[in-house]
Structure 1
Amino acid sequence: MSAGLNKYVKYALVLLLSVSLILFTEQMKFIKSGEGSITMGTIAGLAVLWMFSFIGVLISQLMKKVPVKILQEFPVLGWVSIVSLIGCLISNDLVEAIGNVNFLSITTPILAFAGISVADRLADLRKTSWRVAIIAVFVFTGTYVGSALLSEVGLYLSGK
């Protein structure tokens, strides 16, 4: 197997591991709540998410060979988002398949990964100024208050 193909197989397997973690989280939710189970719709939705992610990774790798700097530096997440947007605009079946996957089952592994990546860089975080903590408190507070205000406006307008 060539080195280039081997790299894409590794990407595919890492994405498969991610989808497996989401499937595991979904199953744990069902075991904990005692209701429901994983359906073929859930598996189809995870397959669609895997496909979107893998196509986005492939496009990102291909764009690194293009002489346009902005395309070379465009993040993988951006390509995955564009592929997902186009796929969902083209087919309602893809949207329905993704709708079978519980959103919280997706966010749990993502937040775990984010926590691990931040914990890996604690030495860098210690080097930042104490002012960053103050800014973070204001950002978190502003986000919370903004979300609460938007929710209240939405509830008021809907008459609830």
Structure 2
Amino acid sequence: MAVDMKKLLNQTIILFIVGIMILIGQRIGYGTDIIGAIPGILMVIGIAVFALFMRAVTPKLQFPAFAWASLTALILSMPFMPTSEVFLKFTDQVNFLGTTTPILAFAGISVGNKILQLKKLSWKVAIVAVFVFIGTFFGSAIVSHIVLKLQGII
């Protein structure tokens, strides 16, 4: 179970570049103080690096890095954890929507690089995608409606 340290280092460098992009995007889009958001973005990057490392050292577990990152952030932010106050204080300075721009750009590049593989899946994938989008939309609308109704807003 040897970890490819060169690959992990390259991924870490890319995460730092994305972190800088996020900070710049937040400054431009939301007027967020870059200096105030640096500790939070460093924590997010640290969790991402930890998640990539855990995925590398547990290849037989079939647990994706995203799940490791989510689980780690969840544990660090639980109210009974001694880390929650500091973790939430700093990560609250990172605007969630500011993180989506580079993520979506990289997702688009990733899909674009696999366009030939997507062509092989046939037209049925498009139908499944449409039903997923419709289901997600209506599911979100139903949950929102129920919550707003329970709160007496509508």
What is residue 135 of structure 2 aligned with on the other side?
142
Matched, 1:76 2:71: no
TM-score, normalisation: structure 1: 0.81
Structure 1's 24 and 152: CA in aligned 2 closer, same or farther, altered over 3 A? same
Contact 2:27 2:34 in 1 (8 A): no
The offset of 1:112, in angstroms, is 0.9
> Please, which of 112, 129, 136 is the counterpart of residue 119 of structure 1?
112
Specify the code of the residue in structure 1 equivalent to 2:125: V
Structure 1's 126 and 7: CA in aligned 2 closer, same or farther, altered over 3 A? closer
The offset of 1:5, in angstroms, is 4.7
Q: May I ask how many residue pairs the two structures share in their alignment?
A: 147
> Please, which of 124, 144, 147 is the counterpart of residue 154 of structure 1?
147
Specify the code of the residue in structure 2 equivalent to 1:85: L
Unaligned 5+ residue runs, structure 1?
Answer: 31-35
Matched, 1:59 2:54: yes
Separation in structure 2 between the aligned mates of residue 116 and residue 48 of structure 1, nearest angstrom: 26
Specify the code of the residue in structure 2 equivalent to 1:50: I
SS in structure 1 at match of 2:91:
helix
Structure 1's 13 and 146: CA in aligned 2 closer, same or farther, altered over 3 A? same
Unaligned 5+ residue runs, structure 2?
Answer: none
What is residue 20 of structure 1 aligned with on the other side?
20
Separation in structure 1 between the aligned mates of residue 128 and residue 7 of structure 2, nearest angstrom: 40
Separation in structure 2 between the aligned mates of residue 136 and residue 5 of structure 1, nearest angstrom: 37
Specify the code of the residue in structure 2 equivalent to 1:94: F
TM-score, normalisation: structure 2: 0.84
SS in structure 2 at match of 1:155:
helix
Separation in structure 2 between the aligned mates of residue 139 and residue 6 of structure 1, nearest angstrom: 38
Structure 1's 50 and 156: CA in aligned 2 closer, same or farther, altered over 3 A? same
The offset of 1:137, in angstroms, is 1.1
> Please, which of 40, 45, 57 is the counterpart of residue 35 of structure 2?
40
Structure 1's 47 and 137: CA in aligned 2 closer, same or farther, altered over 3 A? same
**Larger Rg: 1 or 2?**
1
Specify the code of the residue in structure 1 equivalent to 2:76: G
Note the alpha carbon deviations across 1:120-157, whole angstroms, 9 max, x for none: 11111222222221121111111111111111111111
The offset of 1:4, in angstroms, is 5.4
Identity %: 35
Moved beyond 6 Å, runs of 4+: none
SS in structure 1 at match of 2:15:
helix
